[in-house]
């Protein structure tokens, strides 16, 4: 047997035969795992399983030792089969288990086994996630009862097809996923799929397709509900695409292509759409988009991010008024939308994600925003918003992600932020915020990232910083903070990897025998006073890759441990100190 094929056979098929052989599951887990599930035996199937049992070499749980065929699907265990046993799968599976209707496989690489094409009763095949190589076998076209076929690849390489006309022999097929399979040599892929009117799901993500502008004399895909053509090379006017005729679509994703131009009027007829993802294209003509969106009353997710769209954000929001309570996610980042975020956004009562990052929005944060009590993700960064961070933000108790950096916000940090107990990320950097850091912010014990850098904050760093046990990244740099940082501030920061305290007037003072609870990768302590002698706690930063201790008041010789401790560092800045000693050769 060819070696790459035999690798597939080392993946175990877990087969469960139901009482009347109507529903059979074959699950192939990791190369050593076999699980059986309830159901009695019939003679032919008992004989097949007993034959397969002979190839078992490692039954660590002794589950199979006493099994003699009374119950084909009882119990569950981890076992290993010899390659010889699995290489007999042609006989074991294709011949003995003619009633097999379902196969799931997970395991090592190799070719897709051609024998699958002889399992005439198969209705469900899931081979997703296995890094197959070679060609998709046309023998799969023999499975006339197949309803679900998932060949999706994870790494998007190694598997290709020169011909998919065999799909037309699957008249009952409803779900087709060939993501990551190279279909670049198949120009007529659409005409082939159009001959399978039973299709409800088509997933052709990252298949190297270069066009979706084919013309169809007639549309057979009248049951299609989900179409995903993301991560391809579609480079043409979006209006010329064939799928605008498919008014049954509930899910349409065209993410990361090169589509451009004006939206077709036909978009307004796709009234069943629940998910529309047009992100990461070259779409810059919003034109009549408002009038088209107004008809999409079932829309729950709209992603227009990473395009070059312009226009007034108010007009776009007005186009989403058909059923505002159904909207769950709005992704508008990295465009050129202008104007003031309207108060009407507060009517999107089911919204849990609002991403307006990197646009040209101006004015105040609207009060209506604080009505969105289900919001978990809010990104208003990289705009020109002004005014204070409203105290009403305390109403958004479900928030886990709050970033409003790079705006023109003024005023102080509201203590009410401390009520957002689910926050994991908080960034207010690069604004004009003044005043002290409220201790309440340090009560957000779920925080993993806190960035308050590049503001005009003053006062001392609250001792409560030490409460943030899950903190990974902390940035307080470029402010007017003063005072002393002690071991109390660092007490429970066991997860800390990156810390930025530079460009403040801070002094770090810890006991000589203090033991650091964290293992840092980046430490930017420039302008913090840690001298005049090299502090002993620096020895504990082994494995650090980036260390900046410039302008830290050091007047000392390099200690003997210094170069060994920081031997893994790729960036070391010790300038503007009075350090003596020799450099390593």
**From first to last of its 585 residues, what are the pLDDT tens digits of the chain?**
343 333 333 333 333 322 223 333 333 333 333 333 445 566 666 665 665 555 444 455 555 565 666 665 544 333 333 333 444 444 444 444 555 677 665 555 688 888 889 998 999 999 998 888 999 999 999 999 999 999 998 776 689 999 999 999 999 999 999 999 999 999 999 999 999 999 999 999 999 999 999 989 899 999 999 999 999 999 999 999 999 999 999 999 999 999 999 999 999 999 999 999 999 999 988 878 999 999 999 999 999 999 989 999 999 999 999 989 999 999 999 999 999 999 999 999 999 999 999 999 999 999 999 999 999 999 999 999 999 999 999 999 999 999 999 999 999 999 999 999 999 999 999 999 999 999 999 999 999 999 999 999 999 999 999 999 999 999 999 999 999 999 999 999 999 999 999 999 999 999 988 999 999 999 999 999 999 999 999 998 888 999 999 999 999 999 999 999 999 999 999 999 999 988 876
Q: Give the pLDDT confidence score for residue 512 in this predicted structure.
A: 84
Do residues 424 and 402 touch, judged by C-beta distance below 8 A? no
User: Which tokens is 403 given?
Assistant: 């970033």
Radius of gyration of the chain (CA): 31
Is the preceding peptide bond at 585 cis, omega within 30 degrees of 0?
Answer: no
Q: Give the pLDDT confidence score for residue 275 in this predicted structure.
A: 99
Q: Give the pLDDT confidence score for residue 18 in this predicted structure.
A: 28
- The CA distance from 184 to 334, in Å, is 30
Q: Give the pLDDT confidence score for residue 86 in this predicted structure.
A: 40
Q: Give the pLDDT confidence score for residue 158 in this predicted structure.
A: 85
Q: Give the pLDDT confidence score for residue 109 in this predicted structure.
A: 61
Do residues 248 and 274 touch, judged by C-beta distance below 8 A? no
Q: Give the pLDDT confidence score for residue 310 in this predicted structure.
A: 92
In the three-class reduction of DSSP (H, G, I as helix; E, B as strand; rest coil), residue 473 is classed as strand
Q: Which helix (H) or strand (E) holds 313?
A: helix 313-318
- The CA distance from 164 to 93, in Å, is 25
pTM of the model as a whole: 0.85
Q: Going from the N-terminus, what domains does the chain have, and what CATH number goes with each? A: 42-80+94-183+202-209 (3.80.10.10)
For 88-225, list the strands marked E by DSSP.
102-105, 124-126, 134-135, 148-150, 159-160, 175-177, 201-203
DSSP 196-223: -TT--EEE-TTS---------SS---TT
Name the nearest CA neighbour of 381 among 330, 426, 314, 329: 426
């Amino acid at each position: 047997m060819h070696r790459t094929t035999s690798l597939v056979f080392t993946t175990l098929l877990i087969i469960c035969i139901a009482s009347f052989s109507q529903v059979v599951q074959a699950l192939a887990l990791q190369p050593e795992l076999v699980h059986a599930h309830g159901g009695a035996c019939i003679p032919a199937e008992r004989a097949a399983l007993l034959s397969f049992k002979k190839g078992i070499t490692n039954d660590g749980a002794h589950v199979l030792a006493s099994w003699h065929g009374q119950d084909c699907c009882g119990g569950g265990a981890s076992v290993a089969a010899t390659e010889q046993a699995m290489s007999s799968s042609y006989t074991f599976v294709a011949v003995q288990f003619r009633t097999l209707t379902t196969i799931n496989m997970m395991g090592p690489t190799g070719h897709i086994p051609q024998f699958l094409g002889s399992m005439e009763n198969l209705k469900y095949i899931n081979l997703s996630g296995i890094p197959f190589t070679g060609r998709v076998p046309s023998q799969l076209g023999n499975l006339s009862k197949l309803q679900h076929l998932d060949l999706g690849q994870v790494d998007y390489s190694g598997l290709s097809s020169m011909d998919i006309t065999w799909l037309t022999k699957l008249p009952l097929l409803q779900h087709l996923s060939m993501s990551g399979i190279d279909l670049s040599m198949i120009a007529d892929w659409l005409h082939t799929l159009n001959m399978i009117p039973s299709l409800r799901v088509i997933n052709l993500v990252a298949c190297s397709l270069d066009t979706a502008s084919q013309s169809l004399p007639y549309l057979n895909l009248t049951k299609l509900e989900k179409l995903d053509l993301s991560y391809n090379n579609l480079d043409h006017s979006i209006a010329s695409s064939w799928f605008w005729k498919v008014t049954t679509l509930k899910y349409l994703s065209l993410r990361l292509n090169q589509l451009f131009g004006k939206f077709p009027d036909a978009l307004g007829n796709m009234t069943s759409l629940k998910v529309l993802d047009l992100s990461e294209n070259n779409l810059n003509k919003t034109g009549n988009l408002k009038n088209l969106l107004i008809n999409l009353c079932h829309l729950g997710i709209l992603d227009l991010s990473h395009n070059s769209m312009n226009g007034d954000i108010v007009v776009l929001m007005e186009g989403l008024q058909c059923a505002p309570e159904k909207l769950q996610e709005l992704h508008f980042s990295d465009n050129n939308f202008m104007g003031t975020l309207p108060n009407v956004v507060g009517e999107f009562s089911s919204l849990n994600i609002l991403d307006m990052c990197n646009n040209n929005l101006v004015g105040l944060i609207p009060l209506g925003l604080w009505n969105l009590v289900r919001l978990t993700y809010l990104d208003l960064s990289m705009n020109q918003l002004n005014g204070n961070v409203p105290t009403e933000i305390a109403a958004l108790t479900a928030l886990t992600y709050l970033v409003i950096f790079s705006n023109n916000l003024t005023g102080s940090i509201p203590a009410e932020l401390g009520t957002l107990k689910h926050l994991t990320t908080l960034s207010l950097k690069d604004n004009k915020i003044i005043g002290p850091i409220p201790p309440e912010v340090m009560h957000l014990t779920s925080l993993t990232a806190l960035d308050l850098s590049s503001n005009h904050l003053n006062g001392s760093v609250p001792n409560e910083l030490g409460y943030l046990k899950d903190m990974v990244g902390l940035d307080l740099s470029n402010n007017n903070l003063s005072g002393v940082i002690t071991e109390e501030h660092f007490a429970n920061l066991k997860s800390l990897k990156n810390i930025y305290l530079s460009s403040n007037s801070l002094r770090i003072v810890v006991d000589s025998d203090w033991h650091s609870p964290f293992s840092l990768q980046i430490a930017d302590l420039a302008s913090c006073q840690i001298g005049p002698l090299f502090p002993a706690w620096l020895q504990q930063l082994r494995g650090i890759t980036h260390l900046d201790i410039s302008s830290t008041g050091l007047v000392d010789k390099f200690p003997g441990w210094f170069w060994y401790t920081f031997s893994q560092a790729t960036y070391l800045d010790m300038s503007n100190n009075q350090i003596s000693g020799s450099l390593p050769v």
